Amino acid sequence: MATVEIADVRKSYGSVDVIHGISMAIEDGEFVILVGPSGCGKSTLLRMIAGLEEISGGRISIGDRVVNNLPPKDRDIAMVFQNYALYPQMTVAQNLGFSLEMAGLKKPQIRTKVEETAEILGLTPLLSRKPAQLSGGQRQRVAMGRAIVRDPAVFLFDEPLSNLDANLRVQMRAEIKALHRRLGSTIVYVTHDQIEAMTMADRIVVLRAGIIEQMGTPLELYDRPENMFVARFLGSPSMNFLKGTLAEGEEPALVLPGGDRIVLASRPEARGEIVLGVRPQEVTIDPVRGTPARIVVTEPTGADTHIVARVGDTDVTCVVQGRVEEGPDDIIPLSFAVPSAHYFDPETEQRIDAAGSVLELAARSQRAVQ
């Protein structure tokens, strides 16, 4: 077990920079998930920690060792690959024991360790099978077993669940989380699936185009996204954004380009144009404070119903409990007046606080200058 420290790490392929100076400290035993859209550099970063990609600049340390120039096998890491990367001609037992064999362990030692690991993951009855005879979930478990058997300082997971079907994914999510609790090891996990990130991570790092957009616990990021990208990325369905001009007057309100008026529950520390962000679960049908919206489509999911409706020229999603009788083209009053509403600067897409202090305002203007 160990800490991982990433200091101003950069990666470029020729003249193309893909990672622009990322720094973060991962604590001992922490489960950190790197999340972001394809091409954001999350896998590249993981592969640099693993030693599979060269580091173009900066420093990566595992424990108190700088590992920049160490080959993968000397970094005391284990990696679980998206396609499992099991040796097809070897049995499960041989797959699990391969790294131990390479490390020069004696046969009886290898057997003991392999059996222990198989026991943890429920692979004991499968030890003499070959990968082709296993189901997707079983292969996934062997891939994890191969990592566990080495007892590494850091586990690296590269989108390990993306080849599994939806049910199995939910199950493996729980298993990985339980495994982390049991082993207490440091895990760096890459995914593009925000649900995996939200459900498993101690801390999420949201990456975009080679920079960190925000870093924090899942609920910190969900409750206080620093910018529209993070706000949009986490949560399902995605957060609604409405762009408009703040109305002058007693009651805080937003006037949309078409003239519709949206009542706000708090007054953002800004003037002129802003973007209002409200999660679909917080949009309510409210005949008193609601703004009329024309329903585009309703999607019943069983427990609740997703309504997509048009406010001004923007489609917004609203999740309501139970069933709804209204259908397409019906008009419903949607209210966005919740204290948890988020405000963003339409230019910089950065967060604007609702009850902003002078200090925060100063910080914001400084950011704007940068």
Residues that bind another protein (CB under 8 A): 50-52, 71-73, 77-79, 81-83, 85, 87-90, 98-99, 102-103, 130, 132-133, 146, 150
Q: In what order do the strands lie in the sheet with 342-344?
A: 261-263, 253-255, 240-246, 273-278, 342-344, 351-352
96 versus 309: smaller Cβ distance to another protein: 96
Residue 227 DSSP code: B
Angle between helix 136-148 and 107-121 (nearest 10): 130
- Rounded to the nearest 5°, which phi and psi values hold at 158? -110, 95
Q: Which is nearer to another protein, 133 or 162 (CB)?
A: 133
Structure tokens at 236: 């399902």
Closest separation in Å from C-beta 134 to another protein: 10
CB of 164 within 8 A of CB of 140?
A: yes
Cβ proximity to another protein, 143 vs 215, nearer residue? 143
To another protein, the closest distance from the beta carbon of 207 in angstroms equals 21
Strand pairing of 291-300 and 304-311? antiparallel
Cα 179 to Cα 31, 49, 184, 187, 335, distances in angstroms: 11, 21, 8, 11, 43
Q: Which is nearer to another protein, 24 or 52 (CB)?
A: 52
Q: Considering beta carbons, is residue 81 or 340 the nearer one to another protein?
A: 81
Q: What is the spatial distance between Cα 26 and Cα 62, in angstroms, rounded to a whole number?
A: 9
Q: Cβ 158 to another protein, closest distance in Å?
A: 8
**Torsion of Cα atoms, 87 then 93 then 94 then 97, to 10°:** 110
Task: Output 24 or 85, the one with its CB closest to another protein.
Answer: 85
Which of 34, 65, 30 has its CA nearest to residue 51? Answer: 65
Contact assessment for residue 43 and residue 29, using Cβ atoms and an 8 Å cutoff: no
**Least Å from the CB of residue 115 to another protein:** 19
Minimum CB distance to another protein, residue 171 (Å): 24
Minimum CB distance to another protein smaller for 55 or for 262? 55
43 within 8 A of 80, measured Cβ to Cβ: no
Q: Which two tokens stand for residue 179?
A: 């495994």
**Could you tell me the smallest distance in angstroms from the CB atom of residue 56 to another protein?**
18
> Smallest distance, Å, CB 132 to another protein?
4
Compute the 3-state secondary structure of the chain and give helix, strand, coil in percent, each to the nearest 5: 30, 30, 40
**C-alpha distance across the termini of the chain, in Å:** 39
Q: Which is nearer to another protein, 156 or 311 (CB)?
A: 156
CB of 43 to another protein, least distance (A): 11
